[in-house]
Structure 1
């Protein structure tokens, strides 16, 4: 009996200590530190009982994003459906948030159900929730449905679309490659007396430049300037990509200088565009130089930087540089396609750089965050490995 009492007392003490520890931490910290997704859901629902907690959009987005990344869509539905028991559900802004969260998770049917059920909760639907539904449709990649909703719902619900509505539909057109439809809508909104803004033009500029329609992009750029809308970093990045795809790297470099003269600092996306341009021109030294320029700035290379550079560097047989780039990827815990790093390992093997291949494979396999599981094939056709090399690999 005494042993049972001791165990009971010990368990109670541990629980009390655990509870006390949690209570000293903010809900954001508790949820961020929780690795078990089931417990994450339980704690999130418990925290939602607090009125103040329910006003924090960032926490909602963070938890839903984690569940979506893990493809735990039933738990997303569980925690968002649980929100309906609170009085907040009669507020349009609260419903709009749920609609957007479902959309960002790719769960458009759920998003539409929230919008559809709003009258049952005595919650009026205005352009706010309508725009949330359009955004959910875009984020769920249901691009073909966006125009249908845009054309039918406003008249049915007596909602007047605003500039946010138009910008969202233009984004959908650009995402699905219907660029001319985007231009038609731009003309339509101007005829209705609605003035396009920087977001409108940036969306269209990115669509046209990225799809190789450089001349049309330039025409839009001129139109934007004529309306006294000043280009920002996103405008310049779209144009830089256009130059890169046109293999006009000299113009791209001059554009970067223009940005600096206007006080606009290049971003990682800017540098990536330049690197992409020099890769397309097969200019290894300039591609490497602009990679180094990222380090000389306040920016950091991202996964797109490496996805552009590594295949090109391997193609140019600069395996030493590819090796260094790969180590940066792993040390920074960037998520890249495993095949990208495997290509470097295979290239090192073909160059008989056994130690480097072993080191890279070990780094990838030991990194619990990345878990690349890189392979060290010992019998590759044309690998150039001699019997001693193969013996060394097989013993590792």
Structure 2
């Protein structure tokens, strides 16, 4: 064998060995206690579990690479989001840029507008709008078609980052410059931006543009306007929007009622919100768990804990299953109001369903129970929490050790 051939063989062997080492080491990250290959879904679940507790940016990237995440799967999108949140919280913005750029350029399966759009949204989540815009501009150079899908992703990224000025600029300039025809999602995102930024009245001009382009508005269009006008206390405009819904033949469904009920509760007008729900019931419309969640939170925040408890009973009697938020709100506010007996009963019911209120709320409950000489009940709460959670176990051990004997 000639020297050249031997060198080629050695180089090839080194590459194979490196690839195999990388393959097995990354796979072992996700399946440390098993030699059985993991399915795609199992990989993502394992990655999510590891990401939630990992702080090291290099390990976060290793976990994501090992799971071979794609935006096709809902679970994978959650894993991407958790990874980006972790990196942005620790200010590793260069790592985020390198990670997303590498995925876009090195993985052929991700050279799609779907992934490019997802990357743009992830930049928005990290408040990296210049990078989101740069990715949108580079899409065509990467051989990826640029359509209204990526434009809407960019607008949504601005919304996530609360960069309303840039959102408006993109909406005004980009469709014309890149020859992209906006669709209903485009207009709805822009209206939501105006609503969130306290300039909901500007949404009327977007609505007019929508009509000029013969795009029919939907419940989301009007819901965004309603939420904004409620937030700004412009009740006359709320009436105008409801009339516009009627004129456009858009039904006031449960979603619209929930927006109105939540908005009134935020304004500490929970009694008015409940009257709105009563009106729904009289029209034969059935509220859902979100309706009750808004009302329970609203009444409890206003100090009417009895009404909050009544609402929980009422929804059960109507065959509506309470959501985790219903329980979390009640346990939190009952502890604040020092009604620890009621808080304990509702916390137990929540935990039976697998829903554990956050550490602060449960700590407040335990301390409250100890304060009213119910140490055994406090100890039982700690036991149940420790059986169901993996976070803060050491802190719970400390609290348990400090209980009166």
Same fold (TM over 0.5): yes
Residues 1-396 of structure 1: pairs in structure 2 closer than 5 A: 21-22=36-37, 25-34=38-47, 35-37=49-51, 41-42=61-62, 45=65, 48=68, 56-71=72-87, 74=95, 77-78=98-99, 81-87=102-108, 91-210=112-231, 212-244=233-265, 245-246=268-269, 247-248=271-272, 250-258=274-282, 261-262=284-285, 265-279=286-300, 282-296=303-317, 297-303=319-325, 305-314=326-335, 316-330=337-351, 334=355, 336-364=357-385, 367-371=388-392, 373=395, 395-396=404-405
Structure 1 gaps, min length 5: 1-11, 379-391
Deviation for aligned residue 1:30: 2.4
Native 8 Å contact 2:324 2:355 kept in 1: yes
- The alignment's TM-score, normalised by the length of structure 1, stands at 0.74
Q: Secondary structure at the match of 2:36?
A: helix
Query: Could you tell which deviates more after superposition, 339-348 or 228-237?
Result: 339-348
Q: Secondary structure at the match of 2:139?
A: helix
Native 8 Å contact 1:271 1:290 kept in 2: yes
Q: Secondary structure at the match of 1:229?
A: coil
Deviation for aligned residue 1:361: 4.3
Change (3 A) 1:172 1:253: closer
Deviation for aligned residue 1:364: 4.2
CA distance in 1, matches of 2:365, 2:321: 25
Structure 2 gaps, min length 5: 1-23, 52-57
Native 8 Å contact 1:67 1:75 kept in 2: no
**Cα RMSD (Å) of the superposition?**
3.8
CA distance in 1, matches of 2:337, 2:186: 47
Q: Secondary structure at the match of 1:248?
A: helix
CA distance in 2, matches of 1:347, 1:46: 45
Change (3 A) 1:43 1:221: same
Native 8 Å contact 2:84 2:122 kept in 1: no
Q: Secondary structure at the match of 1:21?
A: coil
CA distance in 2, matches of 1:81, 1:298: 47
- Residue in 2 that maps onto 1:9: none
Native 8 Å contact 1:102 1:111 kept in 2: yes
Query: Could you tell which deviates more after superposition, 134-143 or 164-173?
Result: 134-143
Cα displacement string for residues 298-326 of structure 1 (whole angstroms, at most 9, x for unaligned residues) = 533323x3453235434554321112233
CA distance in 1, matches of 2:189, 2:399: 49
Deviation for aligned residue 1:234: 1.4
Native 8 Å contact 1:333 1:369 kept in 2: no
Query: How many aligned positions are there?
Result: 359
Deviation for aligned residue 1:283: 4.2
Cα displacement string for residues 81-119 of structure 1 (whole angstroms, at most 9, x for unaligned residues) = 223224456643442233234334544343223212223
